[in-house]
Amino acid sequence: MKFTAKELAEVLKGTVEGDPQASASTFAKIEHGKPGQLCFFANPKYEQYVYTSKASILLVNKDFTPKQPVTPTLVRVENAYSALADLLDYVKAQGKSYRRHRGRCRIALSAKIGRKVWIGDFVTVGKKAVIGDGTRISDNVTIGDNVRIGEKCIIYPGVHIFADTVIGDRTILHAGCIIGDDGFGNAPQPDGSWKKIEHVGNVVIGNDVEVGSNTCIDKAPMESTVIADGVRIDNLCQIAHNVVVGKNTAMAAQTGIAGSAVIGENCILAGQVGIVGHIKIADRTTVGAKSGVIGNVRKSGEVLFGTPAITHKTYLKAYAKFKAAGEE
């Protein structure tokens, strides 16, 4: 898609500084910008590239004051980083087409498909499933019986959504993720064997959630595993049965949360964090990479690190002593 600086400013409610007819058709990092490309500048550490970039259009914050001459046409917005996300959404929307492809799909007669729903090849939609308006379902997706998917969702290839799952509006499920499979529930028997615990609950995912590739969210044996509005889950994460993840919490790759843990709102879990089951973590908790949380976190706003996880300040003090002892 090709757009001018003037058109860009209208979409993003910004202003143009330079040639309003300057045009771009591709995107690039600011350090790689060439004619015909759009770049953005939001992080002060990259300011040096503002003055060397050859990009046609540069998206910048409204209050940015150049210290040297700038080649690209500037489009000034309130927040360049946020505006870039809006622009990418706009560009993607322009390229959308819609179809209801039944030829190579299996769609139950009792399923309800909304308006302008795009369905790829080899998709299975179960009995009494409901898919909201404007949702896009890619190839090789399985949607079980009684699943409800909201409006304007994006379901990428190879996603499997098991029966009774509920998904809100504008949620994105990336390739290969599995939503609503059985949790890891087994009862020990007197002879040392294990008896599988049947899971009859479901998974409930809110609005504006994004789930990364090959992430698994298990259904509950009873009631629901809940992912609240605005949650961001990276690739290769494991969310066990009956877990509750609060609004706007984000977790990086390979994070694992054991059964019945409750994660507060606006938490950040870095890569490879492990959280044991049946604990509660307060709102706005940050857990550093490869940390293991084994007990309740009652105070909101804590920064934790280590295994078992302790406050970051305490961890640094302990680490200094460990390091000193090792050098003796």
Q: How many residues does the chain have?
A: 328
3 state DSSP class of 68: coil
Q: Is 312 a catalytic residue?
A: no
Phi-psi region of 301 (alpha: psi -120 to 50; beta: other; left: phi over 0): left
CB 121 within 8 A of CB 140: yes
Of the residues 174, 241, 278, 312, only one is catalytic, namely 241
How buried is residue 65: exposed, middle or buried, by Cβ count under 10 Å (0-12/13-18/19+)? exposed
Bridge-based pairing state of the strands 303-305 and 310-311: antiparallel
Judge contact between 281 and 260, C-beta under 8 A: no
| 180 vs 217: CA distance, rounded Å | 6
Residue 317, SS3 per DSSP: helix
Residue 51 phi, psi dihedral angles, 5° rounding: -90, -10
Nearest Cα to Cα of residue 242 among 264, 229, 215, 224: 224
Both tokens of 303, joined, read 């920064």
Active site residues: 241
